Chain A
């Protein structure tokens, strides 16, 4: 990606977005309160309100999941307004920028890292299938920040697209210049419906991966993994 920015054609909007995204990830990692503290507080507030039903307020109750009986949270009696969660407390930041970064590197990797492995496999298979499908339909030419600058904003939300773009920029693979151009790693640029569908599939895979990154950024891991991820707890 860095190579693509310093390529001959100068800075493109796509590569600029890539830089902004990477900076944002590092900002998340180094900012303990997160970049949007207001949003974070609101999310916490919503979480606490869930358990403050009248029945829970009267006596205080343990909230269990209906299917497996696993304790999700403990609500204190009326008067103590804050809900006590076994996974997080209001003073404990639950942003997981590392997981979001891993999700960008490979779809589903962030969920795998926080221990939500079944979800990780589903996301990895579905997003990778869409991305690979787009590449099969349009060929390597489906990811091209020069031809499709704004579509590349969506495509770069998965690291493999950025890798393909980097390979094009560094000359590892290149587009055919004519029918007689028979280089070893030259690809035929797509056109018509193939180009449309290839770009659409890869860009949509990137946008769906953005959803998974946002999801994993604030998702509570399963209880066992939550203890392992908690700072200061022996692993």
Chain B
């Protein structure tokens, strides 16, 4: 509840385009729309027909996110445990 009210306060005080969005605490979540955007554009260009665009784009976006999580885990392993 506290987190929600803080978020609402941040949004209330925010002037779009003229002020940056203060997102230091949850910036990692912004990778998801990025991955989805990349997947949709890539598949829209590559596919001959767009019937299965959403399915294919969702699959590719999942692959991107999973690969990034695995890469992050590997880097964490190397830097923290080895």
CB of A137 within 8 A of CB of B30, answer yes
Total contacts A-B at CB 8 Å: 88
Any chain B CB within 8 A of the CB of A77?
no
Interface of A (DSSP majority class): helix
Complex CA gap A189/B48 in Å reads 42
Complex CA gap A136/B49 in Å reads 32
Contact for B17 among A122, A136, A193, A211, CB less than 8 A? A136
CB of B17 within 8 A of CB of A119, answer no
Contact with B along A123-148 (1 / 0, CB 8 A): 10011011001011111111000000
In the complex formed, the residue of A with least CB distance to B46 is: A215
Interface size class of B (residues with CB under 8 A): 20 to 34
CB of A212 within 8 A of CB of B37, answer no
Q: What are 27 of the A-B contact pairs (CB < 8 Å)? A: A122-B44, A122-B50, A123-B41, A126-B37, A126-B40, A127-B37, A129-B33, A133-B33, A136-B17, A137-B23, A139-B17, A139-B19, A139-B20, A140-B17, A187-B18, A188-B19, A189-B20, A191-B20, A192-B24, A194-B22, A194-B23, A195-B20, A198-B20, A201-B34, A204-B38, A208-B37, A211-B42
